[in-house]
Amino acid sequence: MRSLTIKSSFGSYEVSFIETTTGIVSQIKDNIIIIDENVYHFYKNDFIDIDEINLIKINCIEDNKTLDGVKKIITELVERRTKINSKISIIGGGIIQDLAGFAASIYCRGLEYTLIPTTLLSQCDSCIGGKTSINHDGVKNIVGTFYPPKKIYICTDFLKTLKIEDLRSGYGEIIKFYLLQHKEDEFIKNQKNVNQLVYESLNYKANIIEIDEFDKKDRKFLNFGHTLGHALEITSNYQIPHGTAVLFGIAIANRVSKNLGMLSLQKQEKIEELISNYINHQKIKKRWFNFETLHEIIKLDKKNTGYINMVLLTNDGRQLFEMKSLSVIEQSIKEVYETFRLRN
């Protein structure tokens, strides 16, 4: 069984790769289980021996990732007389990880929990690092904590029931990790080996977060593509999934790098061709790429310091950049929109 150990100031925790979904359920059968109701629908036979009182099913949509959504989970925990020594398990994708993880971090000043990510996006990225985030008043991920799980179980069998757009979205974060290392050729070689991609992505991220757990320096590089990606999620009313929005954000960031003379045209075009395989399908609208609208959203971003902060690739590295001139960003957004608007 493949595994990784993640070092954290909260205590080290292990990521274990399990071959079957039933193998995971057997590990958590005595826990209170907070589960995405869609995951439960597909895998309810695996939970046939779990007492119904120990199951909390959540409608995992972005609109529910709020303080009201957290309140509902806390109410469910109180009704089950959940104590400080109770064990809980969280099963699903990034939304329930954020929502229930945040609830776990504040209930009784912190409940121990096991995390079972079921989407490619959550398996390859968000399951480690300890971030929990919820939205407030239309501002994405503005409220949150650092509170990692005690244990993570990954089974890529869960990916068999994902929609194709959710799989493509997960590839967005995986591609990000490979591009930050300038290993796009290695990604192309391994792109059909999902277990390998997930393991390598988590291993790379683990090396970063063990150096910078709380987002002070090196971990900021993991925001590559996210500044504009998060804004595009909002302007599209989440019709662009997260990982796909990140790839659009990467395409824009690379255009900025190219337009500033930091990235060669050859390298920019090579990466954009790779990205296009995963975003050509996405329908886009011009108003989603309106610079003024995107800029207003970015001003509310928790990473905002008064300038647009971007991670930019160079020909042989990467750089954190405070964009004091907006014209190059506006031009790059227009270029990306024009490039992809006729492809879907």
pLDDT tens by residue, 101-134: 999 999 999 999 999 999 999 999 999 999 999 9
Which structure tokens are listed for 329? Answer: 């960003």
Query: 83 — phi, psi (to 5°)?
Result: -110, 170
Whether the CB-CB separation of 114 and 88 falls below 8 Å is answered with yes
Which structure tokens are listed for 327? Answer: 């014209």
pLDDT at 291 over 70: yes
What is the full DSSP assignment across 79-125?
Answer: HTT--TT--EEEEESHHHHHHHHHHHHHGGG---EEEEE-SHHIIII
Letter string b/e over residues 21-52, b meaning 16 or more CB atoms within 10 A of that residue's CB: beebbeebeebbbbbbebbbeebeebbeebee
Indicate the pLDDT class of residue 303, thresholds 50, 70 and 90.
Answer: confident
Query: 322 — phi, psi (to 5°)?
Result: -95, 110
Q: What is the pLDDT of residue 342?
A: 77
Rounded average pLDDT over 162-180: 96
pTM comes to 0.93
Average confidence score pLDDT of the chain: 95
Task: Tell me what percent of the residues of the chain surpass a pLDDT of 90.
Answer: 90
pLDDT at 344 over 80: no
pLDDT at 304 over 80: no
